[in-house]
Amino acid sequence: MQLGSCQFDIQRAQLTNLENGDVWHLPRAELQVLKLLIANRNRIVAKQKLGAADEEHPPLSDSSVTRAVFMLRSFLGPEHEQLIETVKSKGYRLRGEAKHTQWAQMVKLKRGLILGLMIVAIVIAIALVSQFSKSGSTTEPYNVTPLTLLSGQQIKLISYSKSKTNNESLMSVITQFSAGFKGCYSAPWQDIYLSLSHDEQVFNITMRGEKLGQSVVRNLKLSDFRQQKQFISEAWLDEVALCE
Amino acid sequence: MNRKLLWGVNSIILVLLVISISISYRYLNPSETLMLNCSSELFDRHKGDSDKGRHYLLVDVIAKGKQAQFNYRYFNLDGSSAGNIRMKGSLLNYDSDANKYSFSVKTKEESEVEDEQRQPEHMQYLSYVSSFNLDNKGMHNLSIETLDLDEQKDYAIVLFQPSNTVCGCRLVH
């Protein structure tokens, strides 16, 4: 028989809290009071009746009845202590209907549900954290080639590619481009960044260096939509004057 | 399962949820300021080595709060306008470790074309790629990753994806 979150086993004279598993073997006063309250559920039962003597035991004093009610309420817990209602100057009343339900199964189901929800919540939280805190790594250059000018100055040719394979076109254009520095004694550039667009239609050159203590950057973008592309030509290299 | 253990587990879940919600909020509502000005010399190589195939390009990238704007202004050698493309969208994510901004472009405005032959090939290319994505997917996603940065000298070398374009830009404050 269910009383709040507790199950009352009349045969064994014990109350079991199904939430925390506590078991209380009821003393005589508590057992008598609870039995009478259950037998008169939703009806007021006078203190005298609750403490009446039976065949085996003497009557309970009013204070014993009061203490028994207090102990029963304590065991029912703050959420369910109101099940035993005090009706001033009249006695006590056990509220609610007796539920001869499969409470234990329901509690098990409830526990399983709570556990399941907890696991789902933890998985979601971990997934969210890992998803959003995941940082992409920085893009590494595909190739870095040093270029030595006549003065001994070194320039780095740094190329970027979306793929680590099939970059023949890129390397071929870079070779043609680096020919533009062959006659250079020196140049204001330190690093030259190169990339071929994903569809190989645009060749991008970014030259970075210093001139008179100032940072200089020059961007060159060469477009060629033809099937047979020729991004770099000698005439173009002369035109753009890479050494200056 | 006793009440204390339940409360303990509940507290852990609550803390995890608060952490994940705050991280999610931070990533879903990134707020970073990025202002770049990139100037480039353009060469249309199929037009040979003549001046006809030469143009200048100024790109302004402005990202403030969640709003982002990209202005591509094309010029002829004499300084006259050769067209422009303005794209607007939002900042989707900022990865501070990779120093990478991810954007979603939603709208695009292009200057009217008088003579397509005179339009810089780079502009035709950009127009085609962005329209392709906007028409098909309703958005054009792109990212800008900083490869090299010198805040003292106000420059940054950046990599645009998915076009795989390197570009040197001036930092605007």
Domain CATH for A37: 1.10.10.10
Tell me how crowded residue A120 is: count the other CB atoms within 10 A of its CB: 11
Question: Is the model's pLDDT at B62 over the cut of 70?
Answer: yes
Mutant choice from A223, A237, A239 vs B, greatest count of B C-beta within 10 A: A223
Which residues, listed in sequence order, are joined to residue B90 by a DSSP beta bridge?
Answer: B67, B104
Whether A21 and B44 lie within 8 Å, measured CB to CB: no
Domain around A28 = 2-102
Give dist(CA A47, CA A85) in Å, integer: 12
Q: Look at residue A117 and tell me if it is in a domain.
A: no
Higher pLDDT, B101 or B117: B101
To test the contact with chain A by mutation, choose from B56, B94, B164 the residue with the greatest count of A C-beta atoms within 10 A, namely: B164
Q: Three-class SS of residue A126?
A: helix
Instruction: Give the closest residue to B68 by CA, choosing from B40, B44, B35, B45.
Output: B35
Q: Where are the beta strands (DSSP E) in chain A?
A: 2-3, 6-9, 14-17, 23-25, 44-45, 84-87, 91-94, 143-148, 154-160, 189-196, 202-211, 214-223
Side chain identity, residue A166: N
Q: Is pLDDT of B29 > 70?
A: no
The answer to whether the Cβ–Cβ distance between A135 and B96 falls below 8 Å is yes
Inside any domain, residue A14: yes
From chain A, pick out residues whose CB is under 8 angstroms from the CB of B57. Answer: 221
In tens, the pLDDT along A64-92 reads: 898 899 999 888 888 888 889 988 888 99
Q: What is the mean pLDDT of residues B98-112?
A: 92
**Of A71, A102, A133, the domain-final residue:** A102
The three-point CA angle A238-A242-A244 to 5° equals: 105
Query: What percentage of chain B reaches a pLDDT higher than 90?
Result: 48
**A90 and A26 inside one domain:** yes
CA closest to B25 among chain A residues: A132
Is A230 inside a domain boundary?
yes
Predicted local distance difference test score (pLDDT) of residue B86: 96
Cβ <8 Å between B162 and A198 = yes
- Euclidean distance between the first and final Cα of chain A, in Å? 97
Do A91 and A7 belong together in one domain? yes
Q: Are B148 and A191 in contact (CB under 8 A)?
A: yes
What tokens appear for B18 in the block?
């608060």
User: What's the CA gap between B1 and A90, in Å, rounded?
Assistant: 39
**B75: three-class secondary structure by DSSP:** strand
Specify whether A83 is located in the same domain as A167.
no
In a domain, A122, yes or no: no
In 3D, which of B118, B45, B41, B74 has the Cα closest to residue A236? B45
- What confidence score (pLDDT) does residue A204 get? 96
Predicted pLDDT of residue B147: 95
pLDDT at B39 over 60: yes
Q: Residue A164: phi, psi to the nearest 5?
A: -90, -5
- How far is it, in rounded angstroms, from Cα B106 to Cα B158? 22
Over residues B129-159, the pLDDT tens digits come to: 888 888 888 889 999 999 999 888 889 999 9
Chain B residue numbers with beta carbons less than 8 Å from the beta carbon of A239 are 49
Contact between chains at A121 and B9 (C-beta distance less than 8 A): no
Share of chain B above pLDDT 70, in %: 90
Instruction: Report the chain B residue with the minimal C-alpha distance to residue A158.
Output: B166
Q: Which residue has the higher pLDDT, B68 or A133?
A: B68
Which residue type is seen at A209?
A: G
How high is the pLDDT of residue A56? Answer: 82
Tell me how far apart the alpha carbons of residues A224 and A196 are, in angstroms, rounded to a whole number.
11
Q: What's the CA gap between B3 and B9, in Å, rounded?
A: 10
Residue of A219, A224, A227, A238 to mutate, testing the B interface (most B Cβ within 10 Å of its Cβ) = A219
pLDDT tier for residue B104 given thresholds of 50, 70 and 90: very high
B69: tokens are: 């704007």
| A147, A235: one domain | yes
Q: Is the same domain home to A91 and A150?
A: no
pLDDT at residue B30, rounded to an integer: 62
Summary count for chain A: helices (H), strands (E) = 6, 12
Coil, strand, or helix at residue A114? helix
Residues of chain B contacting A205 with CB distance shorter than 8 Å: 166
Contact A225 B1 (CB under 8 A): no
Q: What are phi and psi of A175, to 5 degrees?
A: -60, -45
Q: Check whether residue A150 and residue A234 sit in a common domain.
A: yes
Give the distance from residue A230's alpha carbon to the nearest chain B alpha carbon, in angstroms.
Answer: 7
Low-confidence stretches of chain A (pLDDT < 50) are 98, 100
Cross-chain residue pair B161–A197, CB shorter than 8 Å: no
Q: Are residues A89 and A151 in the same domain?
A: no
Judge: A225–B46 Cβ closer than 8 Å, yes or no.
Answer: yes
Q: Would A108 be classed as within a structural domain?
A: no
Question: Could you give the dihedral angle defined by the CA atoms of residues A84, A86, A91 and A97, in that order, rounded to the nearest 10 degrees?
Answer: -30
Q: What pLDDT sits at residue A155?
A: 95
pTM confidence score: 0.63
The verdict on a CB contact (< 8 Å) between B41 and A197 is no
CB contact under 8 A, B125 and A160: no
Cα–Cα distance measured from residue B49 to residue B109, given in angstroms and rounded to the nearest whole number: 31
3-state helix, strand, coil in chain A (%, to 5): 35, 25, 40
**Residue B158 to residue B145: CA distance in whole angstroms:** 5
Whether complex ipTM tops 0.85: no
Domain contains A168: yes
Last residue of a domain, one of A87, A102, A117: A102
CB-CB under 8 Å, B2 with A20: yes
Residue with tokens 């050494």: A243
Phi first, then psi: what are they for B143, rounded to 5°?
Answer: -135, 155
Q: How far is CA A45 from CA A39, A94, A126, in A?
A: 10, 9, 55
- A126 falls within a domain: no
* Partner residue opposite A121 with nearest CB, options B13, B165, B169: B13
What b-and-e string marks burial along A40-78, b requiring 16 or more CB atoms within 10 Å of the CB? beeeebebeebbeeeeeeeebeeebbbebbebbbebbbe
d(CA B14, CA B47): 65
Q: Are strands B67-75 and B34-44 parallel, antiparallel or unpaired?
A: unpaired
> How far does A31 lie from chain B, in Å, by closest CA?
25
* CB nearest to B40's CB, from A133, A194, A219: A219
Nearest to B165 among A20, A195, A207 (CB): A195
Residue A205 CA to chain centroid, in angstroms?
A: 43
Select from A17, A217, A226 the residue whose CB has the most chain B CBs within 10 Å, as the one to mutate to test that interface: A217
Total domains in the fold of chain A:
2
C-beta atoms surrounding A228 within 10 Å: 5
Number of H helices, E strands in chain B: 2, 8
- pLDDT tens digits, residue range B80-95? 999 999 999 999 988 8
Cα separation, B84 vs B57, in Å, equals 9
Please indicate, yes or no, if residue A112 is contained in any of the structural domains.
no
Is the CB of A124 less than 8 angstroms away from the CB of B162? no
Give the model's pLDDT for residue B1. Answer: 55
